[in-house]
Structure 1
């Protein structure tokens, strides 16, 4: 019995915690009539302590995790100088598709209103919500007057800018700053390991957060959660089957049907593994079978697994609108622009491992002052959505690679169109 329990994955434990929390919350809401047991013992102590402790652990991670990830991510792409236009074009397309993805998600959230009707009580975390602000003010707020204050206060936009600058300098002075490069890389590894440890407590945290939420809201909280799930899936479907094929047709004139016929196995593998990194070898192999040069894909695909997180950006955009609507917060234009910028920057250096998008979602929420308690409500179903968005992430990597390859004459179109077969190769992975 114990062996079977140990074999259950973390994602499934989180799902179990979500469903148990939902059921326990509804039982408490409808059947526990003693106010002392219901409110004092359960709602205000047991569930509050477990949920809030988990949220605090996530908040503890977000600033150092994002800071070190961005520094390491930017510093690691210094070889763009030797790759030249291929590297610049790749990064530009990756960032463009991520911006499109987050914008699409915000529009879906505004139109379909996934958080409407949830009526969650606004908490103290929402006191600094960014609603309306002048454009010059928004730009000036990105630049840190004192980067250490920004790190200490969790002001994410200045932290991102500071991290980008350090990463660029480390990339420029690579040989002279080898020790610092290594130090930042090791700090990043430490934060990833700490993230893995904190995530082990996720099932308990999700259980408490769900139990407290549905213990207060009852059945009325289920519908918005379902709408959130559907909104994310709609965004992912549009990105994968409308945005990407459109880019392929407009920029290359290639038939996207040929792409999907050959790429479906990679999408299924990404779906089942929930990790972009594990899909890198298979992705590169399939692209080679489509006529893409390995000289290009060996750079663009690993880079995409690091900085191209369109599926994650869609989840974050819908989650922002879900939380704002659930708490009755009207986000202004400058706040939405801040969300777009933060989500795009958060994709730089984000590890291609399961559910890390939820950690960076905390950063996006902080950038506009949304209560991160809302993350606990959507946390339970994230494992399922993570599978879908990973499939979208790797699809975006492949489409962008084809575009870059063809425009730089590093692709055999006849192989892509099935008119000839790729040469057999001995590749060393």
Structure 2
């Protein structure tokens, strides 16, 4: 037990992930159809612990995003800074998305994963209607901020928090107690993130055990080439696009960056949710990389909503794969249309549930491919979704570091210190409060 407590959080989460994956496969193939295993382990202990962990992560997203953005906005001395931050952030997100889908389609055309497949499917995919750009822009402004928080509408929360923070800053001296209250709340929320992260190994173990017990691994065998192409391009996006962009624009070490992203990447992989990973991503870029809160509180929540690099890669490969599988020849104009549509759609479908399949349906319709083709890739999409979520939050963090460096809002000593933030990761549950930190009424 003492050796376990001395391990880093990253090592604990990795061990939990491996044990969960192994348990899931053992239960699936060693005890197939066992009622006791399904009832008391898979649908019992593992399901309950995994869902509690996910709920705990989602529980802190709204208050963390709101308090962080309010603190960041009310600390701005020049409101025009906000427009500059927004312009840089959105431009970088669109640029990386453009690179992602272009590279995905290039690799897919080179490898030709669907060539000669002659696949057919009787399953029809019912595509939802994606909102227009104007609807998304109007929908960014909440008519009821409390309803936006209750429903977890990230864009509306961001807009209200920015306006609220600006109003606090404009109020001046009378609002100083409000500023101090939100700064204290933000510290409390970050400590709550740390508390939940210390329970992560058990939550990740349960999620992975449930997933690999229920996942139909035979489906992966049928689409192995498609799976490998998507996974390969996702890795290229991180190692080539993100690392090169980070090094060229900031001079920061990609190796140190990826080392400090390990926890967030594993959380994203196990939850397959950028929104649920927001607290962990923000903790990584602020405490471990030294990015100031006024930058991270804006770029990370915004990125989880509009940065769809992983999804764009899936769309690029899936479009080529479906076209080849159905024997449809696409012209160069069609491929260019796919690139433009998918890049713009990364913002156009923000905040819509099932955004990946909605965006793919939009792309397929744009070039005249059958929506029925989506059924071909749905068997492996769950596992790929886990990988592309990890890529998405990595892209969010790269853009955050780039924007922070351009604004001189990153502590380079903290970034270059490989052990920065380690002391905040672990909490002694037997001695939670240190003597000098005791809170008095």
Question: TM-score, structure 1 length as denominator?
Answer: 0.60
Which of 275, 285, 288 is the aligned partner of 1:287?
Answer: 285
**Unaligned regions of 5+ residues in structure 2, if any?**
1-34, 48-75, 154-214, 425-436
Task: Show the counterpart of 1:42.
Answer: none
**How big is each residue's C-alpha offset from its partner over 1:319-368, in whole Å with a ceiling of 9 and x where there is no partner?**
00000001111111221122112212222265689964123222221121
Task: Show the counterpart of 1:357.
Answer: 356
- Distance (whole Å) between structure 1 residues aligned to residue 401 and residue 86 of structure 2: 13
Residues 104 and 230, structure 2, Cα contact 8 Å, conserved in 1: yes
**How big is each residue's C-alpha offset from its partner over 1:183-219, in whole Å with a ceiling of 9 and x where there is no partner?**
9999998xxxxxxxxxxxxxxxxx9xx9xxxxxxxx9
Q: How does 1:111-122 map to 2 (within 5 A)?
A: 111-120=110-119
Residues 275 and 354, structure 1, Cα contact 8 Å, conserved in 2: no
- Distance (whole Å) between structure 1 residues aligned to residue 418 and residue 322 of structure 2: 51
- 1:252 equivalent to 2:250? Answer yes
Residues 220 and 227, structure 2, Cα contact 8 Å, conserved in 1: no
**How big is each residue's C-alpha offset from its partner over 1:128-185, in whole Å with a ceiling of 9 and x where there is no partner?**
xxxxxxxxxxxxxxxxxxxxxxxxxx998xx76xx223444676xx5xxx64999999
Task: Show the counterpart of 1:91.
Answer: 90
User: Aligned pair in 2 of structure 1 residues 413, 388: CA closer, same or farther (>3 Å)?
Assistant: same
- 1:399 equivalent to 2:384? Answer no
- Distance (whole Å) between structure 2 residues aligned to residue 379 and residue 322 of structure 1: 13
Task: Show the counterpart of 2:134.
Answer: 165
- Tell me, what secondary structure is at the counterpart of 2:113? coil
How far residue 380 of structure 1 moved from its aligned partner, in angstroms, is 0.9
- Distance (whole Å) between structure 2 residues aligned to residue 286 and residue 263 of structure 1: 6
Residues 236 and 314, structure 1, Cα contact 8 Å, conserved in 2: yes
How far residue 99 of structure 1 moved from its aligned partner, in angstroms, is 0.7
User: Aligned pair in 2 of structure 1 residues 282, 345: CA closer, same or farther (>3 Å)?
Assistant: same
User: Aligned pair in 2 of structure 1 residues 344, 185: CA closer, same or farther (>3 Å)?
Assistant: farther
Residues 290 and 412, structure 2, Cα contact 8 Å, conserved in 1: yes
- Distance (whole Å) between structure 1 residues aligned to residue 138 and residue 222 of structure 2: 45
- Distance (whole Å) between structure 2 residues aligned to residue 344 and residue 6 of structure 1: 39
**How big is each residue's C-alpha offset from its partner over 1:69-124, in whole Å with a ceiling of 9 and x where there is no partner?**
xxxxxxxxxx997612111100000011011101111001100001111113699x
- Distance (whole Å) between structure 2 residues aligned to residue 314 and residue 415 of structure 1: 32
**Unaligned regions of 5+ residues in structure 1, if any?**
10-78, 126-153, 190-206, 211-218
User: Aligned pair in 2 of structure 1 residues 224, 118: CA closer, same or farther (>3 Å)?
Assistant: farther
Residues 299 and 396, structure 2, Cα contact 8 Å, conserved in 1: yes
- Distance (whole Å) between structure 2 residues aligned to residue 181 and residue 166 of structure 1: 18
- Distance (whole Å) between structure 2 residues aligned to residue 335 and residue 120 of structure 1: 22
Task: Show the counterpart of 1:275.
Answer: 273
Q: How does 1:9-88 map to 2 (within 5 A)?
A: 83-88=82-87
How far residue 227 of structure 1 moved from its aligned partner, in angstroms, is 0.8
Task: Show the counterpart of 2:386.
Answer: 387
- Distance (whole Å) between structure 1 residues aligned to residue 221 and residue 80 of structure 2: 51
Residues 414 and 420, structure 1, Cα contact 8 Å, conserved in 2: no
- Distance (whole Å) between structure 2 residues aligned to residue 424 and residue 223 of structure 1: 44
- 1:335 equivalent to 2:325? Answer no
Residues 350 and 356, structure 1, Cα contact 8 Å, conserved in 2: yes
- 1:225 equivalent to 2:220? Answer no
- Tell me, what secondary structure is at the counterpart of 1:277? coil
Task: Show the counterpart of 2:194.
Answer: none
Which of 223, 227, 233 is the aligned partner of 1:235?
Answer: 233
- 1:409 equivalent to 2:420? Answer no
- Distance (whole Å) between structure 2 residues aligned to residue 424 and residue 295 of structure 1: 23
Task: Show the counterpart of 2:322.
Answer: 323
Runs of 4+ in 1 over 2 A off after TM superposition: 1-9, 79-82, 120-123, 165-171, 178-189, 221-224, 349-356, 419-426
How far residue 242 of structure 1 moved from its aligned partner, in angstroms, is 1.1
Task: Show the counterpart of 2:312.
Answer: 313
Task: Show the counterpart of 1:14.
Answer: none
**How big is each residue's C-alpha offset from its partner over 1:240-273, in whole Å with a ceiling of 9 and x where there is no partner?**
1111000001100111111111111111111111
Residues 121 and 376, structure 2, Cα contact 8 Å, conserved in 1: no
Task: Show the counterpart of 2:105.
Answer: 106
- Distance (whole Å) between structure 1 residues aligned to residue 369 and residue 312 of structure 2: 17
- Tell me, what secondary structure is at the counterpart of 1:306? helix
User: Aligned pair in 2 of structure 1 residues 300, 350: CA closer, same or farther (>3 Å)?
Assistant: same
User: Aligned pair in 2 of structure 1 residues 155, 366: CA closer, same or farther (>3 Å)?
Assistant: farther
Q: How does 1:125-164 map to 2 (within 5 A)?
A: 163-164=132-133
